[in-house]
Structure 1
Amino acid sequence: MMSRFWPMFRKEFVQMRRDRLTLGIMIGIPVVQLLLFGYAIQTDVRNLATVVLDQSRTPESRDVIAAFQNTGNFRIVAHVDDRPALDRAIARGDAQAGIIVPYDYPRRLGRGTTATLQVIVDAGDPLASQAAISAAAGVAQVRNLAILSHATGRASVPVEVRVRPRYNPGLRSPNYIVPGLVGVILTITMVLITAMAIVRERERGTLEQLIVTPITKTELMLGKIAPYVGVGLIQMTAVLALGRFVFDVPLTGNVLLLYTIALIFVVASLALGLFISTLVRTQQQAMQVSFFFVLPNILLSGFMFPRQAMPEVFQWMGLLLPLTHFLKVLRGILLKGVGLEALWQEVLVLAGFAALMIVLSVRRFRKTLPRHADPIRLAFLPPRERSLDLGEEILRSQHLRMRERDDAGRHTRQLTGAEIGEGVARQHQAETLDELPAARAIRLGQDERELVAAIAGHEVRRADFALHHRADLGEHPVPRLLAQPLVDVPQPVDVEDHDREAQ
C-alpha cells in the first residue's frame, strides 16, 4: 500500500507547491482573520453611548450619574433638556442608553423614602442591553447598601457573596474568542481545500489519469488528504503564536496533547471536505455546500453563543459537529490545563468522525468515468487511460455527426455516432483489466475489479474510423479539382487498311 501511496502524496505535494499563491493565502489569511476577529469580537459590552436628562441638577444627581459612568458600561455622550430629545437620540442610534434623574430625587433621599431613577436601554441588541441592565442594577444595589449601612450604623453588610472567577479572572474576551477562532479557521480552510479536490481534477481533465492508475480508492483518498495535514498544523501554530504573544491568551496545558488531538480534527475536516467533493460536480457547487456546513459550525458549536441557551434539539445537532468537540478540547487545554482523562470522549468522537468520513468518501468515489463524459475525448484516449462502464457509449448521435460523400461528390448523407462502428460494437464485450495478460503485468485491476475497459481492437477501429473519415471529407474534392482532362471522350473512327500500323 505504501509503495503506491507515496507517489500520490508526492503528486499532491508538488501540485500544492506549484500553486504558491494559494499556499500563501492558506497560511496568510488565517493570520489576518485572527487579528481582525480577535480585536473586533468582544463579549463584554462596555462604553455604551449614553445621554443624560438631569432634571434635578443637584450634587446628589451628579453623584449618582458619576456612579453609572464609573462602572465602565456607560459613556456619557450628551446632556439633553427634555424627554423628547432623549427619545430622538436613542431612536437615531446616537445613544444606546439614557439616564433620567427626576426633580424630586434629592428630596426623597432626604426624607428617607424611595427615590427613583429611570434607565432607558435600546434592547435591539440583546447582548448590549443585558450588559446595561446588569450594570444599572449593580449601581442601584451598591447605593442601597451604602444608604442602609449609614442609616443602621453598621459598618458591614449582613450577607456577603464572594465570587471567584476561575480560568479567566479578568473576564477577557480574547481568552474565550481566540481558542474558538483556531477551530473555526481550521474548519473553514480545511473543508474548502479538499471540497474542491476531486471536482478540480474532473474540471482540469486529469481525473482519467488518476482512475487508470493501479492505486486503490483508499490510497487515492488518503493521498489527497495527507499533504494538507501539514498545512493545517502550520495554520494552527501561527494562530496559537499570535494568540499567545498578541492577545496574551494563556497556554496552561500539554502542547503535545493539543497537537495530537488537533491532528485528528484536521484529518476529520479534510475528510469531510473530500466527502463533499464526491457529492458535487463543479467547484462552485463544492463551495456552496461547504459554506452550508460552515455556518452551522459557527452558530451551533458554541463558538459565539452558549450551547446551554439553545433548544435541546439544536444542542443535539451541535453534538454532531466536530468543531463542538474540538472547541472543548482547545479551551480545556489552553485555559484549564486539563489532560486526556477529561477529554477522552471528545477524542473518540473526533476519531470516529474522521474514520466515518474517509469510509464514506471511499465508497462514494468510483474509479469509472461518468456516462455524461465527452464521448469524442474518450474515444481518442489510449485504451489503458480509460475506465468505462459496460454499457458506456463512446460516440453518440447528439455529439458526432459526419458527412459521407462519394468520389464524384454528388451524393451526400449524414452519419451518426451510432452508425459509426455499427456491428463492431455488438461483437465485443467489455472485460475487466485484470483478465488481460498485459494488465496483469502492470498490476492493474487490483481494486476489486473496478477498472473496466473495452477491447482495444474494437475501440481503436472506432476511433480510427472516425479520424480517417473526417480527414477523408476534405480529401475527396481534391482529385476532382486538380485533375485536368488530357484526352477527349473516346469516339469510334474508321481507319483504312493502309493506314494501320504493322503489328
Structure 2
Amino acid sequence: MNPNRTLAVAGRVLRQLAHDPRSIVLLMLAPSLLVGLFSWLFSEQEGTFDRFGGPLLALFPFVLMFIITSVTTLRERRSGTLERLMSTPLGKGDFIVGYGIAFGIAATVQAVVTVTFAVVVCGLEVAGPTWQLGAVAVVDALLGTALGLLASAFARTEFQAVQFMPVVVFPQIILGGLFMPRDQMPDVLTAISDWLPLSYAIDAVTAVTDGSEGWDLGRPLVIIAAVTVVALVVAAATLRRRSP
C-alpha cells in the first residue's frame, strides 16, 4: 500500500459523492428522518424512545452505509473503472482502504448529524456523554462500510449486492438485541448473536445511553474495530478487477 495512492482514491470518491446530491441526501438525512419518525411514533409512550432510540443510532447508519458502499464499489468494478485503475501502480489495498477512508469521513458526518438530531430535536436522553454516543455511531457506520466493501467483493451485480441484506444484515437486526435482550433469547440464538458484529454495536450504544463506562463500553468497541479491520483485509484480498 502507498499512502499517496490511497488518499488519491479517497479524494476521488469524495469528489464523486459531492456531485451526487441524491446520495448525499440519503447518507445525511435518511437516518435522522427515520429516527425522527420513530420518535414521533412513540411520542405518547413515555420512555419508549429513550429505550430504543440509542440502538437505532447503531442500526440505521450501519444499514445505509452497507447499502451505499456495496453498490458504489460494485459499480466501479462493473463499469471497468477498477480494471483501468488496476492497470496503474494502484493496489487492491489502496483501493479498499481509500474507499474506507472516504466513506468513513461520510460516516462521521452522518453520525454527527444523526446523533445531534436525536438528542436536540427528538429529545433522546443519554446518561453518558453525548460525544461518546457520536463516537460509537461513527464506529458502527464504519462497520457497515467495511462489511459493504466485503459484500461487494463477492457480488456480481448491484442487485446481488442488495441481496446480501437478508443474509448479512437482517439476521443481525433480529438477533442483535434490539427487540429482545440477548441474554433472554434461546441459548442457540444467543450463541449465534455472540458472533454477529451488530450485536456489539448495539451493546456499545446501550452502554453509553445507560451511562456505563470502562470495559462495558470498551469491549464491544474493540470487537467492532477488530471485525472492521478483518473485513477490510478480506475485501482487499478477494477483490476482483471486474465482474465476469
TM-score when normalising by structure 2:
0.90
Could you tell me how far apart the structure 2 residues matched to 1:274 and 1:362 are? 9
Residue 252 (structure 1) aligned with residue 127 (structure 2): yes
1:306-346 Cα deviation digits (max 9, x unpaired): 32332111112112222211212112112x22223332221
Which structure: larger Rg?
Answer: 1
Report 1:225-374 matches (<5 A): 225-334=100-209, 336-367=210-241, 372=244
Structure with the largest fraction of helix: 2
1:157-190 CA distances to partner (integer Å, 9 max, x unpaired)? Answer: xxxxxxxxxxxxxx61011111111111011111
- Superposition pairs of residues 98-247 of structure 1, within 5 angstroms: 172-247=47-122
Alpha-carbon shift at residue 19 of structure 1 (Å): 0.9
Q: How many residues are matched?
A: 243
Residues 194-227 of structure 1 deviation map (CA, whole Å, 9 limit, x = unaligned): 1113320123232221221212211110111211
* Contact 1:200/1:283 (8 A) holds in 2: yes
Matches of 1:191 and 1:363 in 2, distance apart?
19
CA RMSD in angstroms comes to 2.2
Contact 2:65 2:107 in 1 (8 A): yes
Question: Structure 2: any 5+ residue segments left out of the alignment?
Answer: none
**Structure number having the greater strand percentage:** 1
**Contact 2:36-2:122 within 8 A present in 1 as well:** no
| 2:104 match: secondary structure | helix
| CA distance in structure 1 between the partners assigned to 2:140 and 2:115 by the alignment | 16
Give the structure 2 partner of residue 34 of structure 1. 35
Q: Share of identical aligned residues, percent?
A: 23
Measured after TM superposition, the shift of residue 286 of structure 1 is: 0.2
Distance 1:42 1:296 in 2: 28
Please give the per-residue CA displacement for 1:254-280, whole angstroms capped at 9, x wherever unaligned. Answer: 344444444433222211111100001
> What is the identity, as a one-letter code, of the residue corresponding to 1:351?
A
Q: In the alignment, is the contact (CA less than 8 A) between 2:6 and 2:98 conserved in 1?
A: yes
Q: Which amino acid aligns with 2:171?
A: P
> What is the Cα deviation at residue 20 of structure 1?
1.4
Paired with 2:44 and 2:162, the residues of 1 have a C-alpha distance of: 30
Distance 1:259 1:306, change over 3 A: same
> Contact 1:254 / 1:339 at 8 angstroms: preserved in 2?
no
Gaps of 5+ in 1: 45-170, 373-503
CA distance in 2: counterparts of 1:245 and 1:21, whole angstroms: 25
Rounded to whole Å, the distance in 1 between the matches of 2:190 and 2:86 is: 42
* 1:275–1:361 Cα contact (<8 Å) kept: yes
- Highest relative contact order (Cα 8 Å, sep 6+), 1 or 2? 2
TM-score normalised by length of structure 1: 0.46
Are residues 22 and 2 of structure 1, via their aligned partners in 2, closer, same or farther at CA, if it must alter by over 3 Å? Answer: same
